[in-house]
């Protein structure tokens, strides 16, 4: 076998980045132009989410999380990079494909009830409406969804006759109406108290376990992250951190926070770390046996000897 053959074989055997991910963003860039000024909302963002995960995307205002949500929902198109959801390439879709994608592949839950539920329709009618648009006539599904989410008693009620928590659980049922593969939720508990928020998250977890739906929650509230298995932090248009939660042997929840290393080796250090050590512009890197040292750009003692 020649060198060329060996090189070709190595390329064939190399795993493709995110080939099994349900949601994939690879070096995603989104640039907006306002009055001749360019604003870079996403700066090479990488993201992998597996099928059936319940994930929170957390970031401050202006971090890029809303731009990411709009791209994943098919409302916006990235400037560059790759975005794929449930096997659909979001950059190459036609207008008709985009409409079908938003109708069948993804479901939406917004913070404001007015965006989730039509006020003059009952809960059952709100669920039947997207099904009718998609040409589906399953008469049992709306009632089954309400029962599964614990709001069967709201079947004939209009939004004004329900509490905030009931409204959001009905909104989850509406999002599930056409059997989507992914649910995208924008601050779904932003207007709810802690106890009611827990009910809504319980409903989202049931939706994931019952139907195998991938749920992505975008929020600025770090407390929301305690309700999910994985929290993805976004800062300055890139994924910066991940927090993974698991149940330990004693039954307690263990949370471990990691910095995210992207495909080209970029790493965002936490601001409290860089401030504590006065790290600015340049840092020294030293490769140790089992870690990499990061040092302030100041003369070391051996340099002065």
* pLDDT mean by block of 10 residues, the chain; 305 residues: 57 63 93 86 93 91 90 92 93 90 92 86 95 86 93 95 93 94 90 84 87 90 78 92 85 85 83 87 88 81 53
The Cα 162–Cα 149 span in angstroms is 14
State the pLDDT at residue 194: 83
State the pLDDT at residue 12: 54
User: Which run of H or of E encompasses 211?
Assistant: helix 194-211
State the pLDDT at residue 167: 93
Read off the pLDDT of residues 83-123 as tens digits, 9 standing for 90 and up: 999 999 999 899 899 999 998 999 999 887 778 899 999 99
Domains of the chain: 11-259 (3.40.50.300), 275-304 (no CATH)
Measured CA to CA in angstroms, residue 113 lies from 65, 125, 242 at distances of 21, 15, 30
Quick count: other Cβ atoms within 10 Å of Cβ 231? 23
Q: Residue 170 pairs with which residues in a beta bridge?
A: none
SS (H, E, C) 99-158: HHHHHHHEEEECCCHHHHCCCCCCHHHHHHHHHHHCCCCCCCHHHHHHHHCCCHHHCCCC
> Which of 146, 218, 225, 231 shows the shortest CA–CA distance to 182?
218
Please answer whether residues 33 and 208 qualify as being in contact, where contact means their C-beta atoms are separated by less than 8 angstroms: no
């Amino acid at each position: 076998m020649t060198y060329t053959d060996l090189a070709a074989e190595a390329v064939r055997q190399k795993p493709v980045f995110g080939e099994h991910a349900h949601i994939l963003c690879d070096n995603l860039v989104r640039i907006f132009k306002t009055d001749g000024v360019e604003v870079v909302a996403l700066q090479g963002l990488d993201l992998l989410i597996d099928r059936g995960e319940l994930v929170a995307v957390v970031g401050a205002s202006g971090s890029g999380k809303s731009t990411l949500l709009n791209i994943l929902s098919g409302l916006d198109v990235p400037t560059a990079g790759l975005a794929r959801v449930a096997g659909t390439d979001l950059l190459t879709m036609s207008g008709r494909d985009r409409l079908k994608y938003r109708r069948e592949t993804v479901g939406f839950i917004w913070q404001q009830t007015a965006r989730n539920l039509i006020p003059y329709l009952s809960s059952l009618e709100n669920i039947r409406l997207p099904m009718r648009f998609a040409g589906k006539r399953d008469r049992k599904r709306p009632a089954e969804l309400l029962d599964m989410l614990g709001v069967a008693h709201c079947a004939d009620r209009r939004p004004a006759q329900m509490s905030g928590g009931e409204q959001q659980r009905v909104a989850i049922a509406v999002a599930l109406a056409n059997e989507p593969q992914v649910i995208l939720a924008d601050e779904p508990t932003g207007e709810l108290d802690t106890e009611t928020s827990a009910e809504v998250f319980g409903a989202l977890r049931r939706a994931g376990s019952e139907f195998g739906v991938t749920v992505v929650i975008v929020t600025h509230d770090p407390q929301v992250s305690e309700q999910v298995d994985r929290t993805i932090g976004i800062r300055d248009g890139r994924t910066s951190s991940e927090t993974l939660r698991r149940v330990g042997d004693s039954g307690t929840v263990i949370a471990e926070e990691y910095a995210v290393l992207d495909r080209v080796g970029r790493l965002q250090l936490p601001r409290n770390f860089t401030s504590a050590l006065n790290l600015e512009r340049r840092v020294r890197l030293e490769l140790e046996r089992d870690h990499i040292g990061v040092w302030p750009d100041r003369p070391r003692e051996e340099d002065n000897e």
